[in-house]
Structure 1
Amino acid sequence: MSTEPSCPSSTTAEELQAELARLRSENVSLAELNIALKEGNLALKDANTALKDLLASSREDRSALLSQQTRSQQRQYAESAAQTDPLDRAVGVATLPQEVLLQIFLSTIPPDHTYDPSVLSGSRNAWLDSVKTRRALPLVCKSWYGTGSEALYRDIVLQRMGQICALARTLRSSCVTYGPDPSELVQRLRLTHCIVQPTCMDVVKEDLTFVIEACAHLIVFEFHPHPAFDDELRTSEPHAFLHLNMLDDISENRTSLALCEQFGHGLRHAVFAGPLKIQNLRCIDQVLRAGTHLSRVDLGPYNGGAKVLHFSRSNDDVPIVLPHLTHLSLHVDEDHGRFLDYICESWKLPVLSHLTLHSCQELPTPLLAHIGLVLHYLHIIPSLHWDGSDLRSTLADLPTLCPFLEHLVLPHIPTLTLQCTIKSPTLQYPDIWDTLMQKRHVVELMCKMGIACRLPSLRTLRLLSWGSGDSSALPLILVLCHPTDISGDEVRVVTLPGVRLVQTSWAVLLDRGLGYAGKVTFINSSP
């Protein structure tokens, strides 16, 4: 059996040649495609460049057009404003919401610590400038009249008897005129050093009574009698003056009765500067019994002697309860022992947190035992006779008397190491009034000693430069210069009426008036 031989080699060669021919053809096609893609890419790059140029040109044209339109509008506005009545230019401002306008107008009233409304400040002071501005606000346009009146009448200061009569006349006339009732806008009323002629006393008291009765939304009332005038006529001089005594027996004084009614309507802050007599204290006692909404009370010095003891005992069965009072300021010199007994016996202050004691010769332990259980802030302002002989034993009992005390302000005692005497787990900010200021590194070392000794919560210790013990701004220093306001090497300057000071993290230093050539020098302001 014979077989015919096969030829695989010839077949494979033909297939390889065909595959090579196909690959050469595809390679040529790919090369042509690559050339076409490169040409397309170059065309796209050219188009992109042209588009960028076109976009840049469009932006320049648009910017030029907008600039031209802006200049044209500015010219139109200028021409329109030149042809418009000046009174019509404030139409846009006049259409602001009343709430926004009120906040703007209220910002014209300076803070209390920046001015002194007393006439002793002269005619050029921040308070009078503010009054002039607020008087002009309601006169700008009709749409500002209501809001401007609210800013004008919100805070009233009466310094002369003629101002009392004028205010009463304004409030009476508002009942028959169109417009807002000013009596509903008054929230703060202050009588400051107002003196009255005896022949005008009845008329002035009648007008003052009407003013107090009419101001139904009163929140703050302050009475500062003139220290140089008495409330009783002691001379036959026909032109003698008396200070306006409005704190008298309620049963015989309609002004005191009207004030008592206002205290029951929601008044929150009361200031009765001294000196206070026994008849004034009787009135204040009745007024405070009605003031259940009070959150702050400032009382001046009392000079009624032992009479207050009998007065307080007659009211033991009905104590004064002030459930919302958080801030209290008192005078506690050596003549105020009976007055403090009266407070301990007759006052109930369940939420009192801030206590300021003026003219102290020693810490009033009975008073602190009565009202110190919830105190967070205690400020002791010493008298000229302060010696601090019993301070060590009192400070040792302070954690028991004031278990939640955080901020303590004390006078300097050279023989006493404060940070090693007090054992308080809550005290954070002790401040010490000092006449011989220490350097910064000494104060910081004292703070470290306090933390290591008995004050685990201590954050900072400061020295306060004592230079104006009789200044009315003295209690404000600790309020405006709180220890948490600054830290480290920060420095802040604060200006008070008659006092300028610089606050640092370790001291509050008073300006001693040693500046020259417009520069102010502060004592020991360097570390």
Structure 2
Amino acid sequence: MPTVPVPIQCLPPEILNSIFQRTIPPTFLLDVSLYAGPHSPWFKATKIKKSIILVCRSWYTIGIRFLYEDIVLQRPHQIPAFVRTLDTSSLAQDFGYLVKSINICTYIPPEFSISFNKHLTRIMDNCPRLQQFNFSPPFKWPFTAPNPILSWSITSLSLNDSFPFAIVLRILGAAGGQLRHLGMHAPPSSVVSGTERLCYLPYLLSLQIYFRTWEGFSISFFVDVLCIPRIKHLTLRSVGQFEASFFLPILEKHGPKLCVLQLHTENCMDDVHNTDFEEHTDGQILLDLCPGLEHLVIESTRAMVGLSHPNIQWLDVWIPGDVTPSWRHRSEILAGFRACRGLREIHSVLMHLFDIATLLPPDMVATDLDTFEIAFPGACVRHGVGRLDLARRIDVDSWDVPTYDTDSGAILESDCTSDWVTKSDDGESEDDGAQSSVLSYQDSEASDSNSVKNLKEDEALPQQELESLLVSGNN
């Protein structure tokens, strides 16, 4: 029986949802940092989301979920604007109910610390389905805000070293009961020595520890203070080369429970012959402390020669793009891992996606017939047998790159929130012409810097004026 063509306006919501899912790249492929540039995959994905909701009402109903599912706040004034959007949403369109993850990667001036804490509390109150919270500004500052109250629904938490250690402890004490993933910096040795109270995280499965430097920081917090009985996945990240003796204590305590171990250094690709362990004996000691380990992710092949483990099934190794896929040491490496089912190479250009080794596990591709690509505008990752790399550059073709103009696009200031609708003092909606219910910003980099500069010149401004200045983004 022949089928009757259905107009696109009449497609069922389930079909539209499936189409949009295949149009928008997964979050783990997107770098939300500003230094990725205005034409990065994340900016392109956000523009796609904003375009979808402007097509028609039926597309808006489905597309708005994708727009608000992952919120990224890259400018200080976006925080109160987002709060205002949540406060003005109605029962028919509750934006807060759509939010599943929030990433705050903006600098918060000390003058706005009280306002920031108040806004953060309101965000948590209005997002009952929030599961992931990342606080990752690009640099450190003396954070002076009171203790932020996180939502009870959060299962994944990542904090950089901007928070004082005492506040981190209180956050973990309040939200740790339901955490499944935790990412944090190693605290300074001076603050850990006086900590007596245990921090109990009964359901934590994945722990990511970042070391900015090896000097002055302590691993004892994760050994003596943090109680994680169900830990299965441990990631150790550092700026420089790993010192095996430094993190030996954490593997002595948690190694028997680990199934996945990742050793990740941010500058490892400066030298093709970088090694994760100073000597092979150090590497063997670490492997012996993890008898149940099944998946090892490291950044060197030469250091693995001569090592052995009875249960490791998969080896992932980060390599520079100019290294020949067929290694001279491959057979020597596999000889020491009798249970190993495969050794996979991961292209170094994916280094900023340090979790991709576990998000795309090596057993997904067993034969050439299983090879697949995740292809979206600006991002195209190819997973073949024993190889995970780029099918093409993560960027657009040179003839397809438009000239960036902050006045016409304001990409950096609006992409995470789209075209929010605000209300004027008399209660009437102010619409910029877009058929959407989200707020659009047109202020420039200069206005942001001027507002902060003027604020520092007059620190006596009352809190209400500070909030108004923060929202306006200009002087």
TM-score range, shorter chain: 0.5 to 0.7
Q: Distance in 1 between matches of 2:229 and 2:377?
A: 34
Map 1:470-489 → 2, pairs under 5 A: 471-473=351-353, 475-479=354-358, 482-487=361-366
Q: Distance in 2 between matches of 1:104 and 1:511?
A: 23
* Secondary structure, counterpart of 2:234 in structure 1: strand
Q: Distance in 2 between matches of 1:501 and 1:149?
A: 26
The residue aligned with 1:180 is 93
Asked if 2 retains the 8 angstrom alpha-carbon contact of 1:410 and 1:433, the reply is yes
Q: Distance in 2 between matches of 1:141 and 1:370?
A: 57
CA 1:161 to 1:310, structure 2 compared with 1: closer, same or farther past 3 Å? same
The residue aligned with 2:281 is 393
CA 1:271 to 1:197, structure 2 compared with 1: closer, same or farther past 3 Å? closer
1:286 paired with 2:196, answer no
Map 1:238-257 → 2, pairs under 5 A: 245=143, 253=146, 256-257=147-148
Q: Deviations over 1:133-180 (max 9, x none)?
A: 434555555555554433332221111122112111112222xx4622
Match of 1:211 among 118, 123, 126: 123
CA 1:433 to 1:104, structure 2 compared with 1: closer, same or farther past 3 Å? closer
Asked if 1 retains the 8 angstrom alpha-carbon contact of 2:209 and 2:236, the reply is yes
Q: Deviations over 1:104-139 (max 9, x none)?
A: 444443212433333334444443343344345555
The residue aligned with 1:421 is 307
1:362 paired with 2:243, answer yes
| Alpha-carbon distance, 1:510 to partner | 7.4
Match of 1:371 among 245, 249, 254: 254
The residue aligned with 1:26 is none
CA 1:281 to 1:484, structure 2 compared with 1: closer, same or farther past 3 Å? same
Q: Distance in 1 between matches of 2:208 and 2:267?
A: 19
The residue aligned with 1:525 is none
Map 1:205-354 → 2, pairs under 5 A: 205-227=117-139, 230-232=140-142, 245=143, 253=146, 256-259=147-150, 262=151, 265-273=152-160, 276=161, 280-289=164-173, 290-299=175-184, 301-302=185-186, 305-312=188-195, 314-315=196-197, 319-332=198-211, 335=214, 338-354=217-233
Asked if 1 retains the 8 angstrom alpha-carbon contact of 2:307 and 2:333, the reply is no
* Secondary structure, counterpart of 2:124 in structure 1: helix
Q: Distance in 2 between matches of 1:348 and 1:497?
A: 43
What one-letter code is carried by the residue in structure 2 that aligns with 1:309? V
Q: Distance in 2 between matches of 1:139 and 1:493?
A: 29
CA 1:120 to 1:462, structure 2 compared with 1: closer, same or farther past 3 Å? closer
Match of 2:316 among 416, 419, 431: 431
Q: Distance in 2 between matches of 1:122 and 1:465?
A: 21
Map 1:31-110 → 2, pairs under 5 A: 92-93=10-11, 96=12, 98-110=13-25
Q: Distance in 2 between matches of 1:509 and 1:103?
A: 26
| Alpha-carbon distance, 1:284 to partner | 1.9
| Alpha-carbon distance, 1:102 to partner | 4.1
Q: Deviations over 1:208-245 (max 9, x none)?
A: 33222221211111111122xx524xxxxxxxxxxxx4
* Secondary structure, counterpart of 1:164 in structure 2: helix
Aligned-pair RMSD on alpha carbons? 4.0
| Alpha-carbon distance, 1:419 to partner | 5.0
The residue aligned with 1:402 is 290
Q: Distance in 1 between matches of 2:134 and 2:325?
A: 40
CA 1:504 to 1:163, structure 2 compared with 1: closer, same or farther past 3 Å? same
Q: Deviations over 1:184-211 (max 9, x none)?
A: 221111112x134555554444333322
Asked if 2 retains the 8 angstrom alpha-carbon contact of 1:213 and 1:258, the reply is no
CA 1:354 to 1:147, structure 2 compared with 1: closer, same or farther past 3 Å? same
The residue aligned with 1:236 is none
Match of 2:76 among 161, 168, 183: 161
| Alpha-carbon distance, 1:494 to partner | 6.7
The residue aligned with 1:48 is none
CA 1:108 to 1:189, structure 2 compared with 1: closer, same or farther past 3 Å? farther
* Secondary structure, counterpart of 2:292 in structure 1: coil
TM-score by length of 2: 0.67
Q: Distance in 1 between matches of 2:389 and 2:25?
A: 24
Which structure has more RCO (C-alpha within 8 Å, separation ≥ 6)?
2
Asked if 2 retains the 8 angstrom alpha-carbon contact of 1:333 and 1:361, the reply is no
* Secondary structure, counterpart of 1:370 in structure 2: helix
- Consecutive unaligned residues in structure 1, runs of 5 or more: 1-65, 78-88, 233-244, 519-527
* Secondary structure, counterpart of 1:440 in structure 2: coil
| Alpha-carbon distance, 1:306 to partner | 2.5
What one-letter code is carried by the residue in structure 2 that aligns with 1:287? I
What one-letter code is carried by the residue in structure 1 that aligns with 2:159? F
* Secondary structure, counterpart of 2:129 in structure 1: coil
The size of the alignment, in residue pairs, is: 383
CA 1:362 to 1:103, structure 2 compared with 1: closer, same or farther past 3 Å? same
- Consecutive unaligned residues in structure 2, runs of 5 or more: 269-273, 399-475
Q: Distance in 2 between matches of 1:91 and 1:432?
A: 48
**Percent of matched pairs sharing the same residue:** 25
* Secondary structure, counterpart of 1:340 in structure 2: coil
What one-letter code is carried by the residue in structure 2 that aligns with 1:210? R
Q: Distance in 2 between matches of 1:222 and 1:320?
A: 20
The residue aligned with 2:409 is none
